[in-house]
Amino acid sequence: MLVNRRDVLAAAAAAGVVAVSPLSLVGALAQAAPSTAELMAEGPLKDIWLGKPDAPVTMIEYASLTCSHCATFHNQTYPTLKSKYIDTGKVRFVMREFPLDPLALAGSMLARCAGDDKRNSVVELLFARQTEWLVDKPVAALMNVVKQAGFTQESFESCLKNQELYDAVSKTRDRASEKFGINSTPTFFINGKKQAGAITVDELDKLLAPYLKS
């Protein structure tokens, strides 16, 4: 079924303040751990990696932009992850979309529409300002936030009626559920090992330490 701008905006508006309890999707039951090749294979959307390709640790995050735990990770732990591990060549990191609701899907689309060079900065902006747009009437609030990234009303609406992008974000979520058993956010894979839930700075150091022994 095709989606258009009105459908996406209406769905986002209807979402209001969304409960972000774990999402149950087909294939989310326990299954064999995915292989490294499966995890690393690019899905419907281009992966936007940070860090050195040959870093000793590969960290993949599945996140929803309306998830408060994801926001906690990105606002409190991610700055340390980037400065201490990504920028120093120890970790290669990518965040993949796993929208829990229509509003998160809209946010993911907007981050992608900003362009590859701005996608991660828009994601961080949306997490940092999450309480400002996760409100009863989120569409205008979301527009007010992303205009700081250069969106106009026209480009905002054009992005949210992009059928191809809508399908790609949805398929990214469905692939993660069906192939990797993801059913909540944030969920991480650290060198292939699954780690569910937000990670604190102290936990990050402990989780990465075994892979960084000299």
Residue 36 lies in a domain: no
The reply to whether 214 falls in a domain is no
Pairwise CA distance, residues 62 & 177, whole Å: 10
Q: How many CB atoms lie within 10 A of CB 70?
A: 27
Examine residue 35 and state whether it is found in any structural domain, yes or no. no
Rounded to an integer, what is the distance from CA 13 to the centroid of its chain?
Answer: 20
Is there a domain that residue 33 lies in? Answer: no
What Å distances lie between residue 167 and 25, 49, 175, 189, CA to CA?
Answer: 17, 21, 12, 24
Task: Please check whether residue 21 lies inside any domain of the structure.
Answer: no
In a domain, 146, yes or no: yes
Q: Report the number of distinct structural domains present in the chain.
A: 1
Peptide bond into 186 cis (omega under 30): yes
- The domain containing residue 194 runs over which residues? 5-13+46-203
CATH classification at residue 169: 3.40.30.10
Report d(CA 204, CA 28) in Å as an integer. Answer: 25
- How far is the C-alpha of 121 from the C-alpha of 190, rounded, in Å? 22
| Tens digit of each residue's pLDDT, the chain (214 residues) | 344 445 565 655 544 433 333 343 334 334 567 888 889 998 999 999 999 999 999 999 999 999 999 999 999 999 999 999 999 999 999 999 999 999 999 999 999 999 999 999 999 999 999 999 999 989 999 999 999 999 999 999 999 999 999 999 999 999 999 999 999 999 999 999 999 999 999 999 999 999 998 6
Is 0.95 surpassed by the pTM of this model?
Answer: no
How far apart are alpha carbons 32 and 45 in whole angstroms?
Answer: 24
Does 159 reside within a domain? yes
